[in-house]
Amino acid sequence: MLNDAEGFNKVMIAAGYTDLRRGIEGLATMIRYKYKLDPYEKNVLFLFCGRKSDRIKGLLWEGDGFLLLYKRLERGSFSWPRTTDDILKVTPEQYRYLMKGLEIVAKHPITEVSPPKEIA
């Protein structure tokens, strides 16, 4: 279920660190008050990662109740964005990269530069 983005309207990841001891109520409260989003939005997957990058939790409202997902990798780790305490909407392609352990937020993104001014 977590290896592909099938069936989700949106996938949101909480960048930074999350205390994975939190349960459904704690994660839903965090979504509502810290990130100002609706945890009851149907088929929106919210993902969280703790200090250990080999495990994540997901919270999904299915219309009749919450589904709490937990995944621990036997080998490898998730390349989780740690630089901010914001929530990021990821594309299905970025989600697949994340589930394969690849980076979804570049550490040194390539930016457009303006051409040099002419030398007089």
Domain segments of the chain as ranges:
10-99
pLDDT at 108: 61
Cα 5 to Cα 79: distance, rounded to the nearest angstrom: 17
Phi, psi of 48 (to 5 degrees): -135, 150
pLDDT at 82: 77
Pair 68, 57: CB distance under 8 Å: yes
pLDDT at 36: 94
Cα 33 to Cα 102: distance, rounded to the nearest angstrom: 30
Low-confidence spans in the chain with pLDDT less than 70: 1-5, 105-109, 119-120
- What would the pLDDT profile of 17-46 be if each residue is shown by its tens digit? 899 999 999 999 999 999 999 999 999 999
Which residues share a beta bridge with 66?
Answer: 61
pLDDT at 59: 95
Structural tokens at position 23:
């349960």
Q: Which positions ≥6 away from 61 have C-beta within 8 Å?
A: 39, 40, 41, 42, 43, 44, 67
